[in-house]
Structure 1
Amino acid sequence: MQPHHSSATLQPARHTVPDDAPPSLSRSDSLLDLTAIFAPQTRIAILERAPDSGISAYLDTLATRGELRLGLRCVIDAGTAPELKHWPAEAGRRALEEDIAFISGAYGELLGCARVGLRLEVLGSAMCPRFHVDHTGIRLLCTYRGDGTEWLDERYADRRWLGAAAQGQADEDSGLICSARGIHRIAPFALALLKGDAWQGNAGQGLIHRSPVVSAALAPRVVLALDAIW
Protein backbone atom coordinates (compact mmCIF):
# COMPACT_ATOMS: atom_id res chain seq x y z
CA MET A 1 0.00 0.00 0.00
CA GLN A 2 1.45 3.36 -1.09
CA PRO A 3 1.63 6.19 1.47
CA HIS A 4 -0.76 9.07 0.87
CA HIS A 5 0.76 12.45 -0.09
CA SER A 6 -1.35 15.57 0.29
CA SER A 7 -1.27 18.02 -2.63
CA ALA A 8 -1.36 20.95 -0.17
CA THR A 9 1.86 22.84 0.44
CA LEU A 10 3.37 22.01 3.82
CA GLN A 11 3.36 25.08 6.04
CA PRO A 12 5.53 25.74 9.09
CA ALA A 13 3.82 25.49 12.44
CA ARG A 14 2.63 28.68 14.04
CA HIS A 15 5.13 30.48 16.25
CA THR A 16 4.57 30.56 20.01
CA VAL A 17 5.76 33.63 21.88
CA PRO A 18 8.04 32.72 24.82
CA ASP A 19 7.05 34.51 28.01
CA ASP A 20 10.68 35.40 28.76
CA ALA A 21 11.64 36.60 25.26
CA PRO A 22 13.65 39.85 25.42
CA PRO A 23 12.14 43.03 23.96
CA SER A 24 13.47 44.51 20.70
CA LEU A 25 13.16 48.11 21.86
CA SER A 26 15.14 50.71 23.77
CA ARG A 27 13.12 53.88 24.40
CA SER A 28 14.50 57.07 25.95
CA ASP A 29 14.42 60.85 26.08
CA SER A 30 18.22 61.25 26.08
CA LEU A 31 20.57 61.18 23.10
CA LEU A 32 23.13 59.28 25.16
CA ASP A 33 20.68 56.42 25.63
CA LEU A 34 20.60 55.80 21.87
CA THR A 35 23.85 53.86 22.35
CA ALA A 36 21.56 51.02 23.48
CA ILE A 37 21.18 50.17 19.76
CA PHE A 38 24.58 48.49 19.98
CA ALA A 39 23.27 45.88 22.45
CA PRO A 40 22.90 42.54 20.64
CA GLN A 41 19.23 42.07 21.50
CA THR A 42 18.20 45.65 20.63
CA ARG A 43 16.81 46.08 17.12
CA ILE A 44 15.34 49.58 17.49
CA ALA A 45 16.22 52.53 19.73
CA ILE A 46 13.82 55.47 19.91
CA LEU A 47 14.39 58.97 21.23
CA GLU A 48 11.05 60.67 21.83
CA ARG A 49 10.84 64.36 20.81
CA ALA A 50 8.02 66.87 20.91
CA PRO A 51 6.91 68.05 17.44
CA ASP A 52 8.31 71.39 16.32
CA SER A 53 5.28 73.61 15.66
CA GLY A 54 7.20 75.83 13.23
CA ILE A 55 8.32 72.90 11.07
CA SER A 56 4.86 71.32 11.17
CA ALA A 57 3.13 74.56 10.19
CA TYR A 58 5.61 75.09 7.34
CA LEU A 59 5.07 71.61 5.89
CA ASP A 60 1.29 71.84 6.31
CA THR A 61 1.26 75.17 4.46
CA LEU A 62 3.27 73.76 1.57
CA ALA A 63 1.00 70.72 1.40
CA THR A 64 -2.13 72.91 1.32
CA ARG A 65 -0.67 74.98 -1.53
CA GLY A 66 0.40 71.90 -3.45
CA GLU A 67 4.07 72.87 -3.15
CA LEU A 68 5.20 69.87 -1.10
CA ARG A 69 6.25 67.58 -3.92
CA LEU A 70 9.96 66.96 -4.44
CA GLY A 71 12.14 65.47 -1.74
CA LEU A 72 15.93 65.44 -1.54
CA ARG A 73 18.62 62.78 -1.87
CA CYS A 74 22.24 63.70 -1.29
CA VAL A 75 25.38 63.06 0.76
CA ILE A 76 26.27 65.60 3.45
CA ASP A 77 28.94 66.04 6.07
CA ALA A 78 27.53 64.97 9.43
CA GLY A 79 26.31 68.01 11.33
CA THR A 80 25.80 70.26 8.30
CA ALA A 81 22.47 71.67 7.16
CA PRO A 82 21.20 70.68 3.71
CA GLU A 83 19.83 73.51 1.59
CA LEU A 84 16.20 72.84 0.71
CA LYS A 85 16.33 75.23 -2.24
CA HIS A 86 13.41 73.56 -4.02
CA TRP A 87 11.08 74.55 -1.15
CA PRO A 88 10.02 78.17 -0.49
CA ALA A 89 12.33 80.09 1.85
CA GLU A 90 9.61 80.87 4.39
CA ALA A 91 9.43 80.63 8.15
CA GLY A 92 9.99 77.00 9.09
CA ARG A 93 12.38 75.98 6.33
CA ARG A 94 15.45 77.12 8.22
CA ALA A 95 14.21 75.34 11.35
CA LEU A 96 13.87 72.13 9.32
CA GLU A 97 17.35 72.50 7.84
CA GLU A 98 18.85 73.12 11.28
CA ASP A 99 17.02 70.16 12.78
CA ILE A 100 18.40 67.89 10.08
CA ALA A 101 21.88 69.28 10.81
CA PHE A 102 21.42 68.48 14.50
CA ILE A 103 20.17 64.96 13.76
CA SER A 104 22.91 64.17 11.25
CA GLY A 105 25.54 65.43 13.68
CA ALA A 106 24.27 63.24 16.49
CA TYR A 107 23.97 60.26 14.14
CA GLY A 108 27.48 60.78 12.76
CA GLU A 109 28.96 60.96 16.25
CA LEU A 110 27.10 57.84 17.33
CA LEU A 111 28.13 55.78 14.29
CA GLY A 112 31.58 57.30 13.97
CA CYS A 113 31.07 58.46 10.39
CA ALA A 114 32.01 61.82 8.89
CA ARG A 115 29.44 61.70 6.08
CA VAL A 116 25.87 60.46 5.79
CA GLY A 117 23.58 59.55 2.95
CA LEU A 118 20.45 61.67 3.32
CA ARG A 119 16.96 61.02 1.95
CA LEU A 120 14.13 63.44 2.66
CA GLU A 121 11.19 61.60 1.13
CA VAL A 122 7.84 63.17 0.19
CA LEU A 123 5.39 60.28 -0.08
CA GLY A 124 1.83 60.13 -1.33
CA SER A 125 1.61 56.39 -0.62
CA ALA A 126 3.41 53.77 1.42
CA MET A 127 6.94 53.25 0.05
CA CYS A 128 7.32 49.76 1.58
CA PRO A 129 3.82 48.58 2.61
CA ARG A 130 4.84 45.00 3.54
CA PHE A 131 6.79 44.07 6.64
CA HIS A 132 10.43 43.55 5.65
CA VAL A 133 14.02 43.81 6.85
CA ASP A 134 16.58 46.27 5.49
CA HIS A 135 19.96 44.99 4.35
CA THR A 136 21.70 47.97 5.95
CA GLY A 137 23.68 48.69 9.09
CA ILE A 138 21.95 51.13 11.44
CA ARG A 139 19.54 53.53 9.73
CA LEU A 140 17.99 56.61 11.32
CA LEU A 141 14.39 57.56 10.57
CA CYS A 142 12.45 60.68 11.56
CA THR A 143 8.95 61.39 10.29
CA TYR A 144 8.20 65.11 10.03
CA ARG A 145 4.70 64.84 8.61
CA GLY A 146 2.17 62.02 8.70
CA ASP A 147 2.34 58.73 10.58
CA GLY A 148 5.63 57.18 11.60
CA THR A 149 7.09 53.86 10.49
CA GLU A 150 5.50 50.70 11.90
CA TRP A 151 7.66 47.95 13.40
CA LEU A 152 7.06 44.44 14.69
CA ASP A 153 8.38 43.39 18.08
CA GLU A 154 10.56 40.31 17.75
CA ARG A 155 8.55 38.58 20.49
CA TYR A 156 5.51 38.60 18.22
CA ALA A 157 7.16 37.78 14.90
CA ASP A 158 7.69 34.54 13.02
CA ARG A 159 10.47 35.27 10.55
CA ARG A 160 9.75 32.13 8.56
CA TRP A 161 6.94 34.07 6.88
CA LEU A 162 9.00 37.04 5.72
CA GLY A 163 9.19 37.88 2.01
CA ALA A 164 8.41 35.17 -0.55
CA ALA A 165 7.56 32.65 2.17
CA ALA A 166 4.26 34.49 2.70
CA GLN A 167 3.18 33.36 -0.78
CA GLY A 168 1.55 36.70 -1.47
CA GLN A 169 -0.63 36.69 1.64
CA ALA A 170 -1.17 39.89 3.58
CA ASP A 171 1.06 40.40 6.62
CA GLU A 172 -1.93 39.96 8.91
CA ASP A 173 -2.79 36.59 7.32
CA SER A 174 0.54 34.94 6.54
CA GLY A 175 1.59 33.93 10.05
CA LEU A 176 4.35 36.55 10.31
CA ILE A 177 2.44 38.48 12.99
CA CYS A 178 1.78 36.31 16.03
CA SER A 179 -0.27 39.01 17.72
CA ALA A 180 -1.38 42.50 16.69
CA ARG A 181 -0.09 43.78 20.03
CA GLY A 182 3.40 43.35 18.60
CA ILE A 183 2.84 46.08 16.00
CA HIS A 184 4.09 49.51 17.06
CA ARG A 185 4.33 52.89 15.36
CA ILE A 186 7.12 55.43 15.76
CA ALA A 187 5.78 58.85 16.80
CA PRO A 188 6.27 61.90 14.56
CA PHE A 189 9.55 63.78 15.20
CA ALA A 190 10.97 60.89 17.24
CA LEU A 191 14.46 59.73 16.26
CA ALA A 192 14.52 56.01 15.58
CA LEU A 193 17.59 53.87 14.96
CA LEU A 194 16.75 50.69 13.05
CA LYS A 195 19.29 47.87 13.08
CA GLY A 196 19.43 46.05 9.75
CA ASP A 197 20.74 42.67 8.59
CA ALA A 198 24.09 44.13 7.51
CA TRP A 199 25.09 45.26 11.00
CA GLN A 200 27.91 43.09 12.34
CA GLY A 201 26.59 40.05 14.15
CA ASN A 202 23.00 40.81 13.17
CA ALA A 203 22.59 38.77 9.98
CA GLY A 204 19.04 37.44 9.73
CA GLN A 205 17.94 39.50 12.74
CA GLY A 206 17.27 42.98 11.33
CA LEU A 207 14.28 44.93 12.59
CA ILE A 208 11.01 43.96 10.88
CA HIS A 209 9.19 47.12 9.78
CA ARG A 210 6.96 48.69 7.11
CA SER A 211 5.72 52.05 5.87
CA PRO A 212 2.31 53.16 7.17
CA VAL A 213 -0.68 53.74 4.94
CA VAL A 214 -0.72 57.41 3.94
CA SER A 215 -4.16 58.84 4.65
CA ALA A 216 -5.56 61.57 2.42
CA ALA A 217 -5.78 63.92 5.40
CA LEU A 218 -2.04 63.57 6.13
CA ALA A 219 -0.70 63.34 2.59
CA PRO A 220 2.00 63.76 1.67
CA ARG A 221 4.09 62.09 4.33
CA VAL A 222 7.57 63.56 4.90
CA VAL A 223 10.26 61.30 6.35
CA LEU A 224 14.00 61.68 6.84
CA ALA A 225 16.34 58.69 6.46
CA LEU A 226 20.08 58.73 7.22
CA ASP A 227 22.67 56.04 6.46
CA ALA A 228 26.28 56.12 7.58
CA ILE A 229 29.05 56.51 4.99
CA TRP A 230 32.59 55.55 6.00
Structure 2
Amino acid sequence: MPPDAPPVHQPKTARASSNVDVLPSIYQPAHNIVIWKRALDSTIRGQIQTLIIAQPNLALTSTVSAKSVLNTLQSNFDNHQDYQALFSDISTLVDMFSCLLDCEHVGLRLKVISQAMCPRFHVDRVPVRLVTTYQGPGSQWLAHADADYSKLGSGNQGLSDEKSGLYRHAEHIHQLQAGDVALLKGQLWPDGEHSALVHRSPPQYDQQPRLLLTLDGIF
Protein backbone atom coordinates (compact mmCIF):
# COMPACT_ATOMS: atom_id res chain seq x y z
CA MET A 1 0.00 0.00 0.00
CA PRO A 2 1.12 3.60 -0.49
CA PRO A 3 2.80 4.99 2.64
CA ASP A 4 0.91 7.20 5.06
CA ALA A 5 1.56 10.87 4.54
CA PRO A 6 0.38 14.08 6.16
CA PRO A 7 -2.15 16.16 4.21
CA VAL A 8 -0.50 18.24 1.53
CA HIS A 9 -2.77 20.60 -0.34
CA GLN A 10 -0.47 22.49 -2.68
CA PRO A 11 -1.22 22.06 -6.40
CA LYS A 12 -0.07 18.75 -7.85
CA THR A 13 1.67 18.52 -11.18
CA ALA A 14 2.22 15.97 -13.92
CA ARG A 15 5.55 14.39 -14.72
CA ALA A 16 6.23 12.82 -18.11
CA SER A 17 9.28 11.19 -19.66
CA SER A 18 10.21 8.76 -22.40
CA ASN A 19 12.22 6.87 -19.76
CA VAL A 20 10.42 4.11 -17.85
CA ASP A 21 12.29 5.21 -14.71
CA VAL A 22 9.77 8.04 -14.41
CA LEU A 23 7.10 5.73 -12.98
CA PRO A 24 8.33 5.64 -9.34
CA SER A 25 7.84 9.43 -9.31
CA ILE A 26 4.20 8.70 -8.51
CA TYR A 27 5.35 8.39 -4.89
CA GLN A 28 6.40 12.03 -4.86
CA PRO A 29 3.71 14.20 -3.20
CA ALA A 30 4.12 16.84 -5.92
CA HIS A 31 2.65 14.62 -8.68
CA ASN A 32 -0.83 13.16 -9.17
CA ILE A 33 -0.10 11.73 -12.63
CA VAL A 34 3.10 10.25 -14.01
CA ILE A 35 3.37 9.38 -17.70
CA TRP A 36 5.83 7.08 -19.40
CA LYS A 37 5.65 8.24 -23.00
CA ARG A 38 6.46 5.46 -25.42
CA ALA A 39 5.82 4.36 -28.98
CA LEU A 40 4.55 0.83 -29.61
CA ASP A 41 6.49 -1.18 -32.15
CA SER A 42 4.91 -2.31 -35.41
CA THR A 43 4.53 -5.93 -34.27
CA ILE A 44 2.43 -4.96 -31.26
CA ARG A 45 0.40 -2.49 -33.30
CA GLY A 46 -0.39 -5.18 -35.85
CA GLN A 47 -1.44 -7.64 -33.16
CA ILE A 48 -3.68 -5.01 -31.56
CA GLN A 49 -5.51 -4.45 -34.84
CA THR A 50 -5.93 -8.20 -35.32
CA LEU A 51 -7.31 -8.57 -31.79
CA ILE A 52 -9.83 -5.74 -32.18
CA ILE A 53 -11.12 -7.20 -35.45
CA ALA A 54 -11.35 -10.71 -33.98
CA GLN A 55 -12.91 -9.65 -30.66
CA PRO A 56 -14.76 -6.34 -31.07
CA ASN A 57 -16.68 -6.94 -27.83
CA LEU A 58 -13.70 -7.98 -25.72
CA ALA A 59 -14.16 -7.30 -22.00
CA LEU A 60 -11.66 -9.34 -20.00
CA THR A 61 -11.57 -8.83 -16.24
CA SER A 62 -9.32 -10.96 -14.07
CA THR A 63 -7.21 -11.02 -10.92
CA VAL A 64 -3.65 -11.87 -11.90
CA SER A 65 -0.11 -11.92 -10.59
CA ALA A 66 3.15 -11.37 -12.40
CA LYS A 67 3.53 -15.15 -12.56
CA SER A 68 0.00 -15.95 -13.75
CA VAL A 69 -0.87 -13.12 -16.12
CA LEU A 70 0.57 -14.63 -19.30
CA ASN A 71 -1.25 -17.91 -18.75
CA THR A 72 -4.47 -16.03 -17.97
CA LEU A 73 -4.23 -14.08 -21.20
CA GLN A 74 -3.41 -17.14 -23.29
CA SER A 75 -6.26 -19.18 -21.80
CA ASN A 76 -8.81 -16.52 -22.77
CA PHE A 77 -7.89 -16.41 -26.47
CA ASP A 78 -8.16 -19.35 -28.86
CA ASN A 79 -5.52 -17.92 -31.19
CA HIS A 80 -3.27 -16.66 -28.42
CA GLN A 81 -0.17 -17.30 -30.53
CA ASP A 82 -1.29 -14.37 -32.71
CA TYR A 83 -0.91 -11.94 -29.80
CA GLN A 84 2.32 -12.98 -28.11
CA ALA A 85 4.09 -9.61 -28.39
CA LEU A 86 1.04 -7.80 -27.01
CA PHE A 87 0.59 -10.31 -24.18
CA SER A 88 4.28 -10.05 -23.33
CA ASP A 89 3.93 -6.28 -23.08
CA ILE A 90 0.90 -6.59 -20.80
CA SER A 91 2.76 -9.11 -18.64
CA THR A 92 5.68 -6.71 -18.31
CA LEU A 93 3.36 -3.91 -17.20
CA VAL A 94 1.74 -6.18 -14.60
CA ASP A 95 5.17 -7.14 -13.26
CA MET A 96 6.29 -3.50 -13.09
CA PHE A 97 3.06 -2.35 -11.44
CA SER A 98 3.19 -5.17 -8.87
CA CYS A 99 6.77 -4.31 -7.96
CA LEU A 100 6.02 -0.60 -7.78
CA LEU A 101 3.09 -1.07 -5.41
CA ASP A 102 4.57 -4.07 -3.61
CA CYS A 103 1.40 -6.10 -4.16
CA GLU A 104 1.23 -9.68 -5.38
CA HIS A 105 -2.15 -9.52 -7.10
CA VAL A 106 -3.48 -7.04 -9.61
CA GLY A 107 -6.95 -6.44 -10.98
CA LEU A 108 -6.63 -6.46 -14.78
CA ARG A 109 -9.16 -5.13 -17.27
CA LEU A 110 -8.60 -5.37 -21.02
CA LYS A 111 -11.45 -3.98 -23.09
CA VAL A 112 -12.31 -2.98 -26.63
CA ILE A 113 -14.37 0.19 -26.35
CA SER A 114 -16.37 1.86 -29.11
CA GLN A 115 -17.99 4.60 -27.01
CA ALA A 116 -16.93 6.68 -24.03
CA MET A 117 -16.93 4.40 -20.97
CA CYS A 118 -16.74 7.23 -18.41
CA PRO A 119 -17.72 10.33 -20.39
CA ARG A 120 -17.77 12.74 -17.43
CA PHE A 121 -14.74 13.94 -15.52
CA HIS A 122 -14.31 12.02 -12.27
CA VAL A 123 -11.74 10.64 -9.84
CA ASP A 124 -11.17 6.95 -9.13
CA ARG A 125 -11.81 5.42 -5.72
CA VAL A 126 -8.50 3.54 -5.68
CA PRO A 127 -5.02 4.42 -4.40
CA VAL A 128 -3.46 4.47 -7.87
CA ARG A 129 -4.40 3.05 -11.27
CA LEU A 130 -2.27 2.20 -14.28
CA VAL A 131 -3.92 3.17 -17.56
CA THR A 132 -2.71 2.60 -21.09
CA THR A 133 -4.60 2.86 -24.37
CA TYR A 134 -3.07 0.47 -26.88
CA GLN A 135 -5.09 1.83 -29.79
CA GLY A 136 -7.39 4.81 -30.24
CA PRO A 137 -7.68 8.10 -28.37
CA GLY A 138 -6.23 8.21 -24.87
CA SER A 139 -7.82 9.32 -21.61
CA GLN A 140 -8.29 13.03 -20.98
CA TRP A 141 -7.30 14.73 -17.75
CA LEU A 142 -7.15 18.07 -15.96
CA ALA A 143 -4.19 19.51 -14.13
CA HIS A 144 -4.79 19.79 -10.39
CA ALA A 145 -4.70 23.59 -10.47
CA ASP A 146 -7.24 23.72 -13.32
CA ALA A 147 -9.94 21.53 -11.71
CA ASP A 148 -12.61 22.72 -9.26
CA TYR A 149 -13.16 19.56 -7.20
CA SER A 150 -16.39 20.95 -5.75
CA LYS A 151 -17.98 20.53 -9.20
CA LEU A 152 -17.43 16.77 -9.38
CA GLY A 153 -20.37 14.39 -8.97
CA SER A 154 -23.48 16.00 -7.51
CA GLY A 155 -21.53 19.23 -7.20
CA ASN A 156 -22.19 19.86 -10.88
CA GLN A 157 -25.86 20.57 -10.00
CA GLY A 158 -27.02 18.77 -13.13
CA LEU A 159 -24.86 20.81 -15.47
CA SER A 160 -22.43 19.40 -18.01
CA ASP A 161 -18.71 19.49 -17.26
CA GLU A 162 -18.42 22.25 -19.84
CA LYS A 163 -20.98 24.41 -18.02
CA SER A 164 -20.56 23.47 -14.36
CA GLY A 165 -17.34 25.39 -13.79
CA LEU A 166 -15.28 22.24 -13.27
CA TYR A 167 -12.69 23.76 -15.61
CA ARG A 168 -12.42 27.19 -17.18
CA HIS A 169 -11.20 26.60 -20.71
CA ALA A 170 -11.13 23.67 -23.13
CA GLU A 171 -7.38 24.27 -23.51
CA HIS A 172 -6.98 22.97 -19.95
CA ILE A 173 -7.92 19.46 -21.08
CA HIS A 174 -4.86 17.25 -21.59
CA GLN A 175 -4.88 13.91 -23.38
CA LEU A 176 -2.77 10.76 -23.22
CA GLN A 177 -1.56 9.25 -26.48
CA ALA A 178 -1.81 5.63 -27.60
CA GLY A 179 1.07 3.70 -26.04
CA ASP A 180 1.52 6.06 -23.08
CA VAL A 181 1.60 4.32 -19.70
CA ALA A 182 0.12 6.54 -17.00
CA LEU A 183 -0.17 6.18 -13.24
CA LEU A 184 -3.16 8.10 -11.88
CA LYS A 185 -3.53 8.83 -8.19
CA GLY A 186 -7.03 8.16 -6.84
CA GLN A 187 -9.06 9.13 -3.80
CA LEU A 188 -7.54 6.42 -1.60
CA TRP A 189 -4.01 7.75 -1.98
CA PRO A 190 -2.95 9.84 1.04
CA ASP A 191 -4.64 13.24 0.62
CA GLY A 192 -6.45 11.83 -2.40
CA GLU A 193 -9.70 13.58 -1.51
CA HIS A 194 -7.93 16.83 -2.39
CA SER A 195 -5.52 15.72 -5.10
CA ALA A 196 -6.77 12.66 -7.02
CA LEU A 197 -6.42 13.06 -10.77
CA VAL A 198 -9.55 14.34 -12.50
CA HIS A 199 -9.97 12.47 -15.79
CA ARG A 200 -12.47 10.99 -18.25
CA SER A 201 -12.79 8.74 -21.25
CA PRO A 202 -12.13 10.60 -24.49
CA PRO A 203 -15.02 11.59 -26.76
CA GLN A 204 -15.07 9.15 -29.68
CA TYR A 205 -16.59 11.19 -32.44
CA ASP A 206 -15.50 8.82 -35.21
CA GLN A 207 -16.30 5.66 -33.19
CA GLN A 208 -12.71 4.50 -33.58
CA PRO A 209 -12.42 1.50 -31.23
CA ARG A 210 -10.00 1.71 -28.33
CA LEU A 211 -8.09 -1.11 -26.71
CA LEU A 212 -7.76 -0.10 -23.08
CA LEU A 213 -5.78 -1.76 -20.29
CA THR A 214 -6.19 -0.78 -16.65
CA LEU A 215 -4.44 -2.26 -13.61
CA ASP A 216 -5.41 -1.86 -9.95
CA GLY A 217 -3.42 -3.13 -6.99
CA ILE A 218 -5.16 -5.65 -4.72
CA PHE A 219 -3.96 -5.40 -1.12
Identity among equivalent pairs (%): 37
Cα deviation for residue 173 of structure 1 reads 1.3
Match of 1:212 among 198, 202, 205: 202
Given candidates 33, 40, 57, the residue that maps to 2:29 is 40
Describe the SS at the equivalent of 2:89. helix
Q: How big is each residue's C-alpha offset from its partner over 1:151-174, in whole Å with a ceiling of 9 and x where there is no partner?
A: 011121111211111122121111
Residue among 51, 56, 61 paired with 2:50: 61
Residues 55 and 215 of structure 1: is their aligned pair in 2 closer, same or farther, counting only changes over 3 Å? farther
Deviations 1:46-78 (A, max 9, x none): 0011123222222323444x5322221101112
8 Å Cα contact 1:161/1:174 also seen in 2: yes
Structure 1 57/104 Cα, relative in aligned 2: closer, same or farther at 3 Å? Answer: same
One-letter code aligned to 1:198:
L
- Kindly provide the amino acid, as one letter, of the partner of residue 46 in structure 1: I
Q: Which amino acid aligns with 1:60?
A: Q
Aligned length: 208
SS class of match (1:98): helix
What amino acid maps onto 2:18 in structure 1?
A: D
State the 1:39 CA deviation: 1.5
Residue 91 of structure 1: how far off its partner (Å): 6.2
* 1:144 match: 134
Question: What does the per-residue CA deviation read over 1:57-108, in whole Å, with 9 as the maximum and x for residues that have no partner?
Answer: 22323444x5322221101112542324444526651111100110011111
Whether 2:65 is the aligned partner of 1:77: answer yes
Against the structure 1 CA distance between its residues 51 and 98, is the aligned structure 2 distance closer, same or farther, given a 3 Å change threshold?
same
The answer to which structure has the higher helix fraction is: 2
Q: Match for 2:19 among 30, 45, 48?
A: 30
Which residue is equivalent to 2:152?
162
CA contact 1:58–1:91 (8 Å) conserved in 2: no
- Counterpart in 1 of 2:164? 174
Structure 1 residue 111: deviation in Å? 0.8
Q: Do 2:51 and 2:83's aligned partners in 1 also have CA atoms closer than 8 Å?
A: no
Separation of aligned partners in 1, 2:200 and 2:142: 9
Task: Name which of structure 1's ranges 93-102 and 47-56 shifts more when overlaid on structure 2.
Answer: 47-56
* Alignment TM-score, normalising by the size of structure 1: 0.83
Structure 1 gaps of 5+ residues are 1-20
SS in 2 for 1:203: helix
- Alpha-carbon distance change, 215 to 87 in structure 1, aligned in 2, over 3 angstroms: farther
Unaligned stretches of 5+ residues in structure 2: 1-9
Cα distance in structure 2, aligned partners of 1:187 and 1:106: 20
> 8 Å contact 2:127–2:185 — kept in the other structure?
yes
Q: Quote the RMSD (CA, aligned, Å).
A: 2.0
- The residue correspondences of 1:58-137 to structure 2 (distance < 5 A) are 58-64=47-53, 67-78=55-66, 80-81=69-70, 82-87=72-77, 89=79, 92-137=82-127
Instruction: Give secondary structure in 1 for the equivalent of 2:15.
Output: strand
